[in-house]
Amino acid sequence: MKSSSESATRKWLAVGIVGVSILGIVILAGIAIAFAGSANRADTSRLVFSSVLPLLGTWVGTVLAFYFARDNLQAATDSTLALAGLTEQSTPVTTAMIRAVDIVAYDLGTNQAVDTVELVDVYTEMRQLTPPLRRLPIRSATGTILCVIHDATLTAYAESLGVAAATIDKTIGDLLSVDEFKQLVNAIGFIPESATVADARAKMGSIKNCNDVFVTASGKRDERATGWFTNTLLAGIQ
């Protein structure tokens, strides 16, 4: 409310001062020309216009500066802060994250163990959409995120076995039995809903090979995921 009041005051102050000043200048110029003798009227007119027109130009410039300079400065400041990543300090994750309703995941059945999931089923799930998914979170029946399978990880594991990812006859449990791939699959972070985008970026940077950070109510791994930040999403946020 205070901001709206101040804006209205500034508007009427500018309009009032400029309007009254221009009106006064016009009246004085008219009087000067009207009372000039016929012999001096032409010279007086030239003198008046050579004096009044620059003054009017100054007032127009004042009005433009009054209304636009502050906004331009604010826009430039916001742009600079965004490029420097400083605005992230106050940007809530809830305004920028991928929301739970939009997360495409492989959902486990009730009491189903993640180790038993067939990798070929994960691969097929990734290919359900066009373009194909590059990563697929594995989500429990209660909505918690257990791990994330990236297509690069799945392909690398299949190649290490000398088979194609589309026909691999292994489970997530088999994948996790190899330390190299276990580290990649489990390289995920968690932050609370009260966190900022800067916190999400910091969490991702603090975990080796982490490309996914999930948002939960209080930032605990065993809570239902309400949001998701991928490395691609964070790279596009300025």
Q: What is the pLDDT of residue 171?
A: 97
The mean per-residue pLDDT over the stretch 151-180 comes to 96
> How far is C-alpha 67 from the chain's CA centre?
27
Q: What is the pLDDT of residue 72?
A: 63
Class of domain 93-235: alpha beta
What is each CA distance from 37 to 30, 44, 102, 211, 233, in whole angstroms? 13, 9, 82, 85, 76
pLDDT digits (tens, 9 = 90+) for 95-142: 999 999 999 999 999 999 999 999 999 999 999 988 999 999 999 999
The mean per-residue pLDDT over the stretch 22-26 comes to 72
- Only one residue has tokens 């994250």, namely 97
Does pLDDT of 182 surpass 60? yes
pLDDT digits (tens, 9 = 90+) for 213-234: 999 999 999 999 999 999 999 9
Confidence of residue 41 (pLDDT cuts 50, 70, 90): low
The mean per-residue pLDDT over the stretch 170-197 comes to 97
Does pLDDT of 12 surpass 90? no
> Between residues 3 and 15, which one has the greater pLDDT?
15
> How far is C-alpha 11 from the chain's CA centre?
32
Confidence of residue 60 (pLDDT cuts 50, 70, 90): low
Of 129, 166, 170, 135, the residue nearest 150 (C-alpha): 135
> Between residues 66 and 93, which one has the greater pLDDT?
93
Whole-structure pTM over 0.75, yes or no? no
As a whole number of angstroms, the distance between CA 50 and CA 44 comes to 10
Does pLDDT of 46 surpass 80? no
Q: Phi/psi at 211 (nearest 5 deg)?
A: -125, 5
Q: What is the pLDDT of residue 1?
A: 45
The mean per-residue pLDDT over the stretch 67-89 comes to 58
Confidence of residue 88 (pLDDT cuts 50, 70, 90): low
- Tokens at 205, concatenated: 């940077």
Domain boundaries, the chain: 2-84, 93-235
Confidence of residue 5 (pLDDT cuts 50, 70, 90): low
Q: What is the pLDDT of residue 69?
A: 63
